[in-house]
Amino acid sequence: MIPSHVVNRPTGRETGSFLALDLGGTNFRVCEVVLDGHSGARVRQSKHTITEAQKAAPGNELFDFFADCVYNFIAENGQAALTKKYKLGFTFSFAVNQVAINKGFLILWNKGFTNSGVVGADVVALLQAAFHRKKLNIDVTALVNDTTGTLMSHAYIQPSTRVGVILGTGTNCAYVERMENVTKYTPTDTPDAKEIIINMEWGAFDDEQVVIPRNKYDVKVDRTMNVQGKYTFEKMISGMYLGEIVRFVLVDLVKTGEIFKAGASPELNKPNHFETAFMSRIERDHTLDLNDTRTVLEDMLKIPRTTLADRRLVKTLCELVGKRSARLSAAGIAAVVTKMNKLDGCTVGIDGSLFELYPHYSNRMRDALREILGISAEYVVLEQARDGSGQGAALIAALADKQ
Ligand code: ADP
Ligand code: MG
């Protein structure tokens, strides 16, 4: 439960041009957002993939890479643009102890990052220093979690938004809390603030492992992926892990002789070779003999020969793991909305490739919400907040001006 230092929700009337830099986990984006003051925004962006090598490099190299990307992005506006002064919102989607709107210390890495020299450091200062090294005239005015960004950007177009959720590489949630309930934080710069956005870091929910039932595959995923014993809720839900859960089950089924009797493949034994995107493809395969599932298994995973029974079993398995993910994230939303006392109506903005691309994901969430909340589930509206995290950072940079 991390106070975001964001105490204003947007009105939709904010204007101006801002930069945003969005580090999610898989992708890294630079955006220029021009707010039109009528709940609309024009966005130009460039997208980059973070390589495994970059995730393990010394921290300064990672931040220099960010500065290079921003430099090239601004240069597209012409050489003169490079000397212009910009305000930038930094979406940094990791557990940060945020002590001011533009200052926060990384508590721990997750999602496979291990860069040295960043844990315990102020990530805004690291980014600012990288901009200085690159002689860019950019002021990092806001540090934002992607959940907060998503909540804010969705509130810009839909004012009833009170919750922001990420279902991408990782999973997390932010919601609007009444200030009197936040005992760990006193808003010294904004003493009149009535509410504040809280970044829940819900991926770390139940790391004590006493509430949620887990199976041996969850334990295996936890053991083999960073950081052991941490973010165990996230490891049952998000894109970085679902495929790996399925792979571990398949490896087991091969061992017990229940699948791929004609033989498995070295690919199946390689960590992370069964991508969550494969699950989407398999779940979307409605052909009679599961042809597309065959393509995934035989062409991409190099399984020599599969039977229809094999493919059906794989499909059922994907369905089980995918459904569980959707139901657990819905359980989280039900808990948050109940805690907020917003069962009379609340919009939840959701961003991330898993929610956007995984078939049936939102329907499965809806089903679970109905089971948990009954009729009240009808008033909890789940909406796609596409690319909310970057635009939200720009909005917060705009509001930080006023704060
Ligand atoms: P980030 O979390 O880095 O901001 P995204 O929201 O794009 O980025 O999420 C990336 C994650 O989404 C990856 O871990 C990947 O497993 C998952 N993903 C990508 N494509 C699909 C797909 N077609 N179906 C399900 N999950 C996907
Ligand atoms: Mg993202």
pLDDT mean by block of 10 residues, the chain; 403 residues: 92 90 90 91 93 96 97 93 92 92 94 95 98 95 94 93 97 97 87 94 96 96 91 97 98 97 94 97 98 98 97 98 98 98 96 97 98 98 88 87 58
* Residue 66 zone, left/alpha/beta (φ > 0; ψ -120 to 50; rest): alpha
Q: Is 239 in the pocket of ligand 1 (CB under 6 A)?
A: yes
pLDDT confidence of residue 188 = 80
First to last CA, the chain: 22
The three-state (H, E, C) secondary structure of 164-225, written as one string: EEEECCCEEEEEEEEHHHCCCCCCCCCCCCCEEEEECCHHHCCCCCCCCCCCHHHHHHHHHC
Q: Is 280 in the pocket of ligand 1 (CB under 6 A)?
A: yes
pLDDT confidence of residue 190 = 83
Query: Cα separations (Å) of 216 from 54, 104, 113, 248, 317?
Result: 31, 36, 25, 9, 15
Both tokens assigned to 7: 């105490």
Ligand 1 centroid, distance to 296 Cα (angstroms): 18
Both tokens assigned to 186: 């006193």
Can you name the CATH fold of 2-157+386-402? Nucleotidyltransferase; domain 5 (3.30.420)
The active-site residue out of 9, 64, 93, 310 is 93
Q: Is 358 in the pocket of ligand 1 (CB under 6 A)?
A: yes
Please name the residues in contact with 244: beta carbons below 8 A apart, sequence gap of 6 or more. 221, 224, 225, 271, 272, 274
The residue to mutate among 21, 30, 110, 169, having the most atoms of ligand 1 within 8 angstroms of its beta carbon, is: 169
pLDDT confidence of residue 198 = 97
Residue 29 annotated in active site: yes
Asked if 69 contacts 30 with a C-beta cutoff of 8 angstroms, the reply is: yes
Q: Is 322 in the pocket of ligand 1 (CB under 6 A)?
A: no
Helix, strand or coil, per DSSP, at residue 259: coil
Ligand 2 centroid, distance to 348 Cα (angstroms): 16
pLDDT confidence of residue 227 = 84
Asked if 169 contacts 239 with a C-beta cutoff of 8 angstroms, the reply is: yes
Both tokens assigned to 384: 């796609």
Question: How far apart, in whole angstroms, are the C-alpha atoms of residue 143 and residue 100?
Answer: 8
Question: How far apart, in whole angstroms, are the C-alpha atoms of residue 317 and residue 307?
Answer: 15
Is the peptide bond prior to 227 cis by the omega test (within 30 degrees of 0)?
Answer: yes
The interaxial angle of helices 388-402 and 146-157, nearest 10 deg, is 80
Q: Whose CA is nearest to atom 21 of ligand 1?
A: 277
Ligand of minimum distance to the alpha carbon of 284: 1
Residue 146 annotated in active site: yes
Asked if 180 contacts 365 with a C-beta cutoff of 8 angstroms, the reply is: no
The structural domains of the chain, with segments of one domain joined by +, span: 2-157+386-402
Residue 252 annotated in active site: no
Q: Is 149 in the pocket of ligand 1 (CB under 6 A)?
A: no
pLDDT confidence of residue 390 = 83
Cα–Cα–Cα angle for 382, 384, 389, rounded to 5 degrees: 120
Which residue matches tokens 């190299």?
61
pLDDT confidence of residue 402 = 58
Q: Is 145 in the pocket of ligand 1 (CB under 6 A)?
A: no
Q: Which atom of ligand 1 is nearest to the CA of 240?
A: 14
pLDDT confidence of residue 401 = 64
Ligand 1 centroid, distance to 80 Cα (angstroms): 36
